[in-house]
Amino acid sequence: MIIEKKLLDIFLLSDLEFSKTKDEINEGLDDKLNEISEEFVKTGTFYGTQHIKYRLKERIKRIREIVKSRLTLDLNYVEKVMIPFIDDIYQEIYKRALETIESEIDYAGNKMLHFCRNWPNPKSYLEHIKQMLNKEKDVLIKNTERDI
């Protein structure tokens, strides 16, 4: 019971710092995405799979940093308070990381769908977006399992 209370307090502190860190990671993302789009406008290939691929890669890079930050903060806060690492704690940290992965992948997918909604034949790009995001989701989950 005492450990559960401490764990809730620790995760609350971790969440506060995570929110700040996530904002720092995402800072400048819109500018970077605009730069990518401008390059494709210059070459006349704005409505293309490569454009989507480069935008998704930039988002995925940020998602990887966010998930890594979530894991690092949770593990560091648990270590600082010197709570013994037991399976339940690892499972809770893993669960929180999975929630982060799910929410960030869903958010990236929604942003990409929003970006492509007015393109000619947007459905042709949807499958490509889903494939890339599902592949990255699997990689992130495997990396999280390994890191914990």
- Quick one: tokens of 4? 């559960």
Q: How many domains does the chain have?
A: 1
Report the C-alpha gap between 123 and 131 in whole angstroms. 13
- Map tokens 């790009």 to a residue: 125
Q: Residue 89's domain spans which residues?
A: 2-147
- Map tokens 């034949």 to a residue: 121
* pTM across the whole model: 0.92
pLDDT tens per residue across span 80-139: 887 777 888 899 999 999 999 999 999 999 999 999 998 988 888 988 999 999 999 999
Alpha helix ranges (H) inside the chain = 2-26, 29-42, 49-80, 87-116, 123-147
Amino acid at 75: L
Query: Model confidence at 71, in pLDDT bands (50, 70, 90)?
Result: very high
